[in-house]
Amino acid sequence: MEYKNTYNNLNDTEVWRYGDTEERLFSKSSLNEIPQQLQTCIDLTHPTYSNDNRSADTALSQPYRSIALSPNKSPVAFFDSGVGGLTVFNKFKKLLPNENCLYFGDTKNMPYGEKTEEQLLEYADNIFKFFETKGAKAVIMACNTTSAVTYEKLKNNYSFKIYPIIQSVCKELANLPDVKKLGIIATPATVKSRAYSKEISKYNSKVEVSELSAPNWVRIVEEHRIYQPQSIEQVKEILDIMSDFAPDKIVLACTHYPYLIDVLKKFMPEDMFIDPAENFARIIKDDLTENNMLNDKFEYEKFFVSDNPENFKEAAKMFYEQGCLPEVINFG
């Protein structure tokens, strides 16, 4: 696949087309003005650049120039309201260690589960647009709440492929062996949307689903209060309510909740709980492979937050160790 540009003298822009599906407009003459997705993919060893030792900047200013690119080097991006999405990020990196990755934790607006639909749409749109400026080839919605509330409304607005966690994993959840009653513990916003019930019923209407919100669990994780007596009691209260439903399995339907497994297993067998992140990471890997989007050499990973990078780095240690503080990004 190639990006091809055509110089247009009338408006002083160049049009770049990726295959037959995508166009990008930008002012001519400078490599630095080209969208980052193109910059990171340009193969400077291609004859376009090597002939008579012309610079990339000079070559790009030429009309009707075709340039060989490798879009697979573009990063895969993840986002969540905080550290929870690292449960997905960690499993993804184990399956696909060669992928360049970005991660955004919207710690300023955490927890998402308490926000309105309008707020969630604004947060998700800002993050998606930020990832566009970073040239992401795919974005992983490693957040059940935004998958439940915003995905259907935003999914066609951007240039990259989007993987929402709920819509991706529910087919397998609907067909778990020997599971007739499935408990879902999620944030208030996810439960209000009934996204899990709706998606599971598409694949198996015979599975009985009970959704229960755990409004305090995200803050317990983000504030490092997992082993405090009050936190343990709050976890137990939710499990006691879920026990009345007598589920065969319980889905931890917020990516923060697997951080609580040491407490959860005090009250129920560990194999009672399902972390969707593992299957989600495998589903993403299979789809990227099928669409020839895999990178062959790791170069970088970058972390961003909207507030309190020190707290994010400390809370993240349970699932993914970072080398330095994440960069703070504010959308205004």
> Of residues 41, 101, 170, 254, which has the active-site annotation?
254
State the Cα torsion 97-102-107-109 to the nearest 10°: -130
Q: Note if 101 is an active site residue.
A: no
Residues 6+ apart with CB under 8 A from 44: 56
Closest CA to 58 of 36, 35, 28: 28
Q: Which residue's entry shows tokens 């062959």?
A: 296
- Spatial distance between the Cα atoms of 12 and 29, rounded to a whole number of angstroms: 10
Strand-strand pairing, 22-27 and 13-18: antiparallel
Cβ–Cβ < 8 Å for 28, 12: yes
Determine which one of 41, 101, 143, 170 is catalytic: 143
Do 319 and 278 meet the contact criterion of CB atoms below 8 Å apart?
no
CB 194 within 8 A of CB 223: no
Q: Does the bond joining 111 to the residue before it have cis omega, within 30 degrees of 0?
A: yes
What 8-state DSSP symbol labels residue 75?
A: P
What is the sign, positive or negative, of the torsion defined by CA atoms of 41, 43, 49, 54? positive
Could you tell me if 19 and 10 are in contact, meaning their C-beta atoms sit under 8 angstroms apart? no
Q: Is the dihedral of CA 24, 26, 29, 34 positive or negative?
A: negative
41 is catalytic: no
Provide the CB-side half-sphere exposure for 117 (13 A, CA).
10
Q: Interior CA angle at 90 toward 85 and 95, to 5°?
A: 130
Backbone angles phi, psi at 76, to 5 degrees: -95, 130
Tokens of 66: 């075709």
Q: Which residues contact 122 (CB under 8 A, 6 or more apart)?
A: none
Tell me which residues are annotated as active site.
143, 254
